[in-house]
Amino acid sequence: MAIITLTTDLGDKDFYQAALKGSILSLLPAVSLIDITHNISAFNISEAAFVLKNAFPYFPKNSVHLIGIDSVYNQNTRYLAIRYRDHFFVGSDNGIFSLLFEEDPQEIVELHIMQDLKFLHFPLTDIFAKAATHLAKGGKISEIGLPVSHVEEKMSLQPVIERDIIRGSVIYIDSFQNVITNITKDLFTRVQRNRNFALFFRRNESITQLSWHYNEVPEGEKLCLFGISNYLEIAINKGNASGLLGLNLGDIVRIEFYSEKNV
């Protein structure tokens, strides 16, 4: 089955999303079109990378992932098709791929599909749709572009690690208002070394225990856990953690580790 996923900042109000889907279906009527999300904040490649990075591994190999973030025409921006972990990605070389991938891709090509001038301001319905459907049909990536060796680099904010402290930041707030930080489970475990911890954030709030699931604490109580993304989350059981705890994108969180004898 041919699968194309869509991750864009087109929203649901205008006709742009429908135009993209119609263009793809006109080229490949039998394709299975899957919306990952169209509600990425405008031009926010970091947000899009986080969402797609956590979604694409659940799809079958050879799925095609079309990325429509900051994709309007710019003479200095390349359009790329990439094979990574046996999935295909089509999007603008605006830094998103460096945030999305954890190792070098298997193949990268700069698309050489002729631009239809009437779609110059909206290449999603033209170049991107043509590239995605070509790949979804089983076409070779080498047939739609010329090989390139690298992608545009975009630095992501990394946690600061000291012997007994991790300083991280909020990188995503989901639709349930759960607050997701840039602290991975692997990093937490490596620094923790079986010690106790205290997680500190705004308003002098703290959490000192990890939960396995959201309902492990009473309704309205705060908690922290490693969710499906394997990043540390701050949540309130059936509550709005971001709003009630005053946590926003970019805010700093701090984890201090200690042994019981030091308490």
What's domain 160-262's superfamily in CATH? Bacterial fluorinating enzyme like (2.40.30.90)
Q: Please name the fold of domain 3-147.
A: Rossmann fold (3.40.50)
**Residue carrying the six token digits 């000192």:** 208
| pTM for this model (two decimals) | 0.90
Residue 72: partners with Cβ closer than 8 Å, 6 or more residues away: 121, 122, 123
pLDDT value at position 157? 82
pLDDT value at position 117? 59
Please, what are the averages of pLDDT over each run of 10 residues along the chain (263 residues)? Answer: 96 93 97 97 94 97 96 80 98 95 96 72 86 98 96 90 94 96 96 95 90 95 95 96 95 92 55
pLDDT value at position 251? 95
Domain-by-domain residue ranges, the chain?
Answer: 3-147, 160-262
